[in-house]
Chains A and B, each alone.
Chain A
């Protein structure tokens, strides 16, 4: 009896230790380098949940038709969390996906940290010169290619044509016009003119570019966010909110923006192609023709929107590299891209995809393609993915009146200089 207790305790202790050390070994990562692909490919997608994710899930799982022995596991990770979640998983080595949809600014950072597998010469990267130059730029780091461009995007003003007609206004082309248009909309219809996201600094970029500013200047290794243009841009967004031309939200920005625009409570928002599918689901846009898209308003110096997009990257620690390479190639092929464009109005990254009928006929693509071509490119350095965290804190502080535009810009610049050692 006593022995029994000791033995039980020992077994229990051992079992505990075993579970603690076990982690999750993926034993199913078996694929031969020659012959048929097999095993599991886990893909972390970051597309908008509720609209885009369904389409991507279906397309991803269609890969199994081509390779019946491969099991594609589709996981939708909210965009806002994906960068951190991937870093956690990639560093600890457990629970990381095989393929990640990596935002353009994250890609050099992940590559720099050693989390991504180089793709040159692998089946993942086919016909590399077919990709748009801007789209391919963010996939390269230190002379190697670490990702394959999946979609490219930029931003524009989305507007509700019905409200515009009711108020009798035209689409604003400058920030000053934006203010008068907003005021007219408010007077005529009682609705708010524009929704400006206050919890994500990406929505601040077009105003920064409009004043001739930029986050950093990589060619001269200098921080530019706190120069006169940066301060002016902070003043511009603060004035939009303070004057009532735009409303903002510091915590639930995305949901509130989408729902107020979809329900016709605001007339305009700045957004990109990724929001189109979700917007069409709103009651104001049952008639798709009601959605208008126009270039972002120009500031006092220039007009510009950020160039963004997403790449597909393969985790360096993937147990199933071969199937992952094939999956990335499939997801970025001209055929798949055309299908994505048809269903979600997202912009392809392959030149050849633009000749396909689905893409040629697409109105949203027709609008955004020239926008993308002139969009402002960010420097693709590992720190680009780190520039938003300090900026969004100060941006929100400025919008909610906790700091002045001058101090906000300066604080952002200070943290950039801490981040970018040796920059001016």
Chain B
């Protein structure tokens, strides 16, 4: 319906223009390509314009500004501000790539990057393995399957910050449920969020808990699209369960799993709420990942270091783009048409 209408509009508009011109000049030059495109698709352009403007304003401008700030020494004290009767002009200056040099040669960025990689790899791999296992279990006909499915999707249905706060209560060293259970069993309480190693474990556990439903649902969808004839044929040929999994399920899930791994990696790499709400990057800076540290530069320390924060932001963007590019290339060489 809609397609039909818009075509007729375009045609009508086109006719109009041509007719108008021939009446005016007699021998018209052929209309330029842009003009033609405009006159043919003006309606489409008008419809797209608000989106383009909104995206330009909410993504394009901050991005450009962020890159610009990362090349300056802007902080809270030297940016322009105008408060009531006080007007202070901007006094920050361009410093070139100094911020990048500092970040890449100092050990804070590299140290944080190291933990961010550990965090991302362990979260994604554990979530993927668990999601795969659960999806396979739920793909069989077992009693109460829909109940299990609902229960496993639950973490996804609760707003992230609510579940993270719930976990924070569970982890509380003195009054948390986990330590109460442990002490009931006669075991010493565990300093969940107060010991650097335990805190790392704790944040990964929460993120896995939050991430499994997505993996499970996506992989379950993938499983159900694998034709059952293949399994039947394999069974006829005497393939073991492991062989069926290895040679039918895994290749069958490939398109789905490559996508979810890419998405999940990007999300986990930038998983701000879990870290921030659970430990605020602490104890000390043990669980600080790149995004939470960038946030800290920009909002928690004073004077707020906008330049360093945007430098880290740009570096995060570059890292993720590199990852996506490499990942795509690897997949392509393995024959996926992506």
- A residues with a Cβ closer than 8 A to B are 2, 6, 9, 12-13, 16, 20, 83-84, 87-88, 90-91, 93, 109, 112-115, 117, 198-199, 248-252, 256, 259-260, 265, 315-318, 321, 385-386, 389-390, 393-394, 396-397, 399-403, 419
Instruction: Please give 19 more A-B residue pairs, beta carbons under 8 A apart, in addition to A109-B302, A252-B168, A396-B283.
Output: A2-B5, A13-B50, A13-B53, A84-B299, A113-B81, A117-B84, A198-B194, A249-B173, A249-B174, A256-B174, A256-B175, A259-B175, A265-B174, A316-B84, A316-B85, A321-B84, A386-B302, A386-B303, A403-B284
Contacts of B194 in A (CB 8 A): 198, 248-251, 400
Q: Assess the B83–A9 pair: CB atoms within 8 A.
A: no
Q: How far is the CB of A246 from chain B (nearest CB, A)?
A: 13
- CA–CA, A383 and B47, complex, Å: 52
Contacts of B302 in A (CB 8 A): 83, 87, 109, 385-386, 389
Q: Assess the A251–B299 pair: CB atoms within 8 A.
A: no
Q: How far is the CB of B332 from chain A (nearest CB, A)?
A: 39
5 smallest A-B Cβ distances: which pairs? A397-B284, A250-B283, A316-B84, A114-B86, A317-B84
Question: Binding site of B, secondary structure by majority: helix, strand, loop or mixed?
Answer: loop
Interface centre among B57, B77, B174, by most chain A C-beta atoms within 10 angstroms, is B174
Q: Assess the B284–A394 pair: CB atoms within 8 A.
A: yes
- B residues with a Cβ closer than 8 A to A are 5, 9, 43, 46-47, 49-50, 53-54, 57, 76-77, 79, 81-86, 88, 168, 172-175, 193-196, 279-280, 282-286, 299-304
Contacts of B174 in A (CB 8 A): 249, 252, 256, 259-260, 265
Q: Assess the A93–B50 pair: CB atoms within 8 A.
A: no
CB closest chain-B residue, reference A314: B84
- Show 5 residue pairs from A and B whose CB-CB distance is below 8 angstroms, ordered by the A residue: A2-B9, A12-B50, A87-B304, A252-B173, A400-B196
CB closest chain-B residue, reference A399: B283
Q: How far is the CB of B50 from chain A (nearest CB, A)?
A: 4
Question: Binding site of A, secondary structure by majority: helix, strand, loop or mixed?
Answer: helix
CB closest chain-A residue, reference B88: A114
Known: A91-B76, A109-B302, A397-B285. A6 touches B83 (CB 8 A): no
Q: Assess the B284–A396 pair: CB atoms within 8 A.
A: yes
Known: A12-B50, A13-B50. A316 touches B83 (CB 8 A): yes
Q: Assess the A114–B83 pair: CB atoms within 8 A.
A: yes
Q: Assess the B172–A9 pair: CB atoms within 8 A.
A: no
CB closest chain-A residue, reference B58: A20
Q: How far is the CB of A111 from chain B (nearest CB, A)?
A: 10
Checking B53, B81, B173, B282 against A396 with a beta-carbon cut-off of 8 angstroms, the contacting residue is: B282
Checking A16, A114, A117, A256 against B172 with a beta-carbon cut-off of 8 angstroms, the contacting residue is: A256
Q: How far is the CB of B76 from chain A (nearest CB, A)?
A: 7
Contacts of B88 in A (CB 8 A): 114
Contacts of B86 in A (CB 8 A): 114-115, 316
Q: Assess the A90–B83 pair: CB atoms within 8 A.
A: yes
- CA–CA, A315 and B82, complex, Å: 12
Contacts of A115 in B (CB 8 A): 83, 86
- CA–CA, A419 and B305, complex, Å: 11
CB closest chain-A residue, reference B8: A2
Q: Assess the A9–B50 pair: CB atoms within 8 A.
A: yes
Contacts of A249 in B (CB 8 A): 173-174, 194
Q: How far is the CB of A39 from chain B (nearest CB, A)?
A: 15
- CA–CA, A256 and B168, complex, Å: 13
Q: Assess the B284–A400 pair: CB atoms within 8 A.
A: yes
Checking A16, A112, A199, A317 against B282 with a beta-carbon cut-off of 8 angstroms, the contacting residue is: A199
- CA–CA, A88 and B303, complex, Å: 12
Q: Assess the A93–B282 pair: CB atoms within 8 A.
A: no
- CA–CA, A83 and B284, complex, Å: 20
- CA–CA, A350 and B91, complex, Å: 40
- CA–CA, A390 and B85, complex, Å: 33
CB closest chain-A residue, reference B172: A252
Contacts of A316 in B (CB 8 A): 83-86
Interface centre among A2, A250, A316, A390, by most chain B C-beta atoms within 10 angstroms, is A250
Checking A251, A256, A321, A403 against B279 with a beta-carbon cut-off of 8 angstroms, the contacting residue is: A251
CB closest chain-A residue, reference B174: A256
Q: Assess the A6–B280 pair: CB atoms within 8 A.
A: no
Q: Assess the A9–B283 pair: CB atoms within 8 A.
A: no
Q: How far is the CB of A252 from chain B (nearest CB, A)?
A: 6
Contacts of A318 in B (CB 8 A): 84
Q: Assess the A397–B283 pair: CB atoms within 8 A.
A: yes
CB closest chain-A residue, reference B6: A2
- CA–CA, A59 and B173, complex, Å: 37
Contacts of B286 in A (CB 8 A): 400, 402
- CA–CA, A87 and B284, complex, Å: 24
Q: How far is the CB of A400 from chain B (nearest CB, A)?
A: 5
Checking B43, B283, B303 against A400 with a beta-carbon cut-off of 8 angstroms, the contacting residue is: B283
CB closest chain-A residue, reference B80: A91
Q: Assess the A251–B280 pair: CB atoms within 8 A.
A: yes
- CA–CA, A265 and B174, complex, Å: 10
CB closest chain-A residue, reference B169: A252
Contacts of B299 in A (CB 8 A): 84, 88
CB closest chain-A residue, reference B81: A91
- CA–CA, A393 and B299, complex, Å: 15
- CA–CA, A98 and B81, complex, Å: 17
Q: Assess the B283–A402 pair: CB atoms within 8 A.
A: yes
CB closest chain-B residue, reference A13: B50
Q: How far is the CB of A334 from chain B (nearest CB, A)?
A: 29
Q: How far is the CB of A406 from chain B (nearest CB, A)?
A: 16
- CA–CA, A316 and B50, complex, Å: 37
Checking B50, B196, B279, B284 against A393 with a beta-carbon cut-off of 8 angstroms, the contacting residue is: B284
- CA–CA, A83 and B301, complex, Å: 10
Q: Assess the B84–A16 pair: CB atoms within 8 A.
A: no
Checking B46, B196, B301 against A6 with a beta-carbon cut-off of 8 angstroms, the contacting residue is: B46
Q: How far is the CB of B302 from chain A (nearest CB, A)?
A: 4
Q: Assess the A84–B83 pair: CB atoms within 8 A.
A: no
- CA–CA, A14 and B64, complex, Å: 24
Contacts of B82 in A (CB 8 A): 93
- CA–CA, A6 and B84, complex, Å: 41
- CA–CA, A198 and B199, complex, Å: 15
- CA–CA, A6 and B9, complex, Å: 13
Contacts of A403 in B (CB 8 A): 284
